[in-house]
Amino acid sequence: METVKRKLNESATMRWTVLVLISGLMFATYWFQDCLGPLKGLMESQLGLDSSQFGLVVSSTTWANLAMMIILGGIALDKWGIRKTGTAFSLLALGGAFIVAFASKGMFGQDQKTMLIWMIIGRLLFGTGLETVCVMVSRTVVKWFKGYELALAMAINVGFGRMGTAGANFFGVEIASGDVYTGLSFAASLVGFAFIMFLIYIIIDVKYDKRQESSAGSEEEEAFHLKDLGKLVTDSSFIYITLLCVVFYAAVFPFIQYAPDLLVNKFGFTTTMPSTAGMSLWQKIVTFFHNGPKVTSLIPMGTILFTPIFGSIVDRKGKAASLMILGSFLLIFANLTLSIFNSVILGYLGLIALGVAFSLVPAAMWPSVAKIVAENRLGTAYATMFTVQNYGLSAFYWGIGKVVDLVNPDVVQKIQQTRQQLLDSGVSLNEIASRMEAMKMTGEIPAYNYTIPILTLVLCGVLSIFLAYQLKRADKAQGYGLELPSGQTN
């Protein structure tokens, strides 16, 4: 009977087929989430949206999640299962994506205000579906890979999301070909294609559950009660890993947002890539690695390769809590080298350390949750972690920028005065940007001092070490087996 029960997910071919089918949603939703950045210039010229309006459209993706929508979606996932919840929230994300695209074409009204309102509505709906879809995909990976290559599978799943982000940034402008609607409709169509892949997965999942029912009963039918949420948030291991998730990502994601500007201001990197025509291959490489945005982009791209490698190590060797401690030490090293030292070589080493930590900690953290939390509460668990993480990120995104302004009042004043003078002279906004960049390179506008803002992130690394150590102690007492290979428990 046990053989019949586990026949489908005992097949490695079936497991990896399932992973590809469901990870399509990660790829496509991350592509759509990040597709607006490369199209910002087109949205200004075609739709007449200024930067604050653009910011409203982008930020509206998170509004529902800050209102605890992720937790409600996680509870729905635990109560109603993968198929129903996944279908409902995938359709919500898909509908929201196409509303944004149609709004950019003026299908709901040609005036700017109407287009803006409908784009915000679309992103709000997309964001409501997005995070629950990500939770659902993680829950599905656990269902099929628990006891097998769970850490590797979750790492590859994360890699699909990173590829979506990379694709949107590298190819978004070329795909749009000068038209916002073309770029957005392509991104929305990717979500639609991924939803079709999910429907194919559902056929396989139905077959899986029928075989489960023939022996020990389907996992989808495990009961979830609201009192389980209370058990979840009082579990010491879950508390430690959730707080670790917050402080670790608070030191990584905000840094990535500010890193291009830091590299430009601290080490004299370029903001835009100069023409490489006539350069030798070596000169082109040097030029690439002296460009702030390009160098920063290597951090998330590196996770596509290294996260699966570390995930495989966790599967075979275990030591998840110990690896989280190691990743936290690397985080401290990275922020120290990029804050108090002025060596470009140490700066590169710091970026490499940050990239390794960004691959190492998630590869150990996410499969560990599946050992700590009962499977019928995993949706709520991941959703709770994502919700708390969003609050932490929101605070640090704003907080780092605020600290930069506070410690650089003269720079802020000079930038504002220069911009106003150029505006008064009748210089266009696009020309103002290029002129001010040139003035920064010549020193007419002084550089920001990022020492204190980045040094504050060292505290996140210290807290990460403390929380990872406490997690290791709690695991020793509770016996979840975080230090053991996949499929083994104390």
Q: What is the DSSP string of 282-337?
A: HHHHHHHTTBHHHHHHHHHHHHHHHHHHHHHHHHHH--HHHHHHHHHHHHHHHHHH
Residue 19, domain CATH: 1.20.1250.20
254 & 338 share domain:
yes
Q: Is the dihedral of CA 106, 108, 110, 113 positive or negative?
A: negative
311 close to 323: Cβ distance less than 8 angstroms: no
Helical packing angle, 378-407 and 451-478, nearest 10°: 160
Q: How many CA atoms lie within 13 A of 286 on its CB side?
A: 5
How far apart (Å, rounded) are the C-alpha atoms in residues 440 and 437? 5
Of residues 200 and 56, more confidently modeled = 200
- Size of the chain, expressed as the number of residues it contains: 490
195 & 86 share domain:
yes
Torsions phi, psi of 408, nearest 5?
-130, 50
pLDDT band for position 52 (cuts 50, 70, 90): low
278 & 307 share domain:
yes
pLDDT of residue 95: 96
How far apart (Å, rounded) are the C-alpha atoms in residues 59 and 233? 28
Q: What is the mean pLDDT of the chain?
A: 83
125 & 228 share domain:
no
pLDDT of residue 194: 96
Of residues 244 and 273, more confidently modeled = 244
Counted domains in the chain: 3
pLDDT of residue 2: 42
241 & 183 share domain:
no
Segment holding 233, helix H or strand E: helix 227-233
- For the chain, report the end-to-end CA distance as a whole number of angstroms: 26
From residue 317, alpha-carbon distances to 311, 323, 384 in Å are: 10, 11, 28
275 & 396 share domain:
yes
List the beta bridge partners of residue 291. Answer: 270
Q: Which long-range contacts (CB under 8 A, 24 or more apart) does 299-302 make?
A: 299/256, 299/259, 299/351, 299/354, 299/355, 299/358, 300/162, 300/165, 300/166, 300/256, 300/358, 301/162, 301/166, 302/355, 302/358, 302/359
How far apart (Å, rounded) are the C-alpha atoms in residues 61 and 126? 7
pLDDT band for position 307 (cuts 50, 70, 90): confident
pLDDT of residue 326: 94
Q: Running DSSP on this structure, what letter comes out for residue 177? A: T
> Where does a domain end: 177, 195, 222?
222
Residue with token string 């509206």: 60
pLDDT of residue 234: 85
Task: Kindly tell me if the per-residue pLDDT of 289 is higher than 90.
Answer: no
156 & 292 share domain:
no
Q: Lowest mean pLDDT: which of 93-97, 213-217, 235-239, 257-261?
A: 213-217
265 close to 233: Cβ distance less than 8 angstroms: no
59 & 110 share domain:
yes
178 & 204 share domain:
yes
Q: Mind listing the pLDDT tens digit for each residue in 130-189?
A: 888 988 998 899 888 888 888 889 889 988 988 888 788 777 777 888 788 999 999 999
User: Which of these, 53, 172, 182, lies nearest to 120 by C-alpha position?
Assistant: 53
179 & 197 share domain:
yes
Task: Kindly tell me if the per-residue pLDDT of 22 is higher than 90.
Answer: yes
Task: Kindly tell me if the per-residue pLDDT of 200 is higher than 80.
Answer: yes
245 & 188 share domain:
no
pLDDT of residue 198: 96
Write out the residue range of the structural domain in which residue 435 sits: 409-442
Task: Kindly tell me if the per-residue pLDDT of 465 is higher than 90.
Answer: yes
> Where does a domain end: 172, 200, 222?
222
From residue 22, alpha-carbon distances to 19, 128, 187, 214, 463 in Å are: 5, 18, 17, 25, 34
Mean pLDDT over 313-340 rounds to 91
- Enter the pTM of the model: 0.75
pLDDT of residue 342: 85
Supply 22's token pair: 């469901």
360 & 434 share domain:
no
269 close to 447: Cβ distance less than 8 angstroms: no
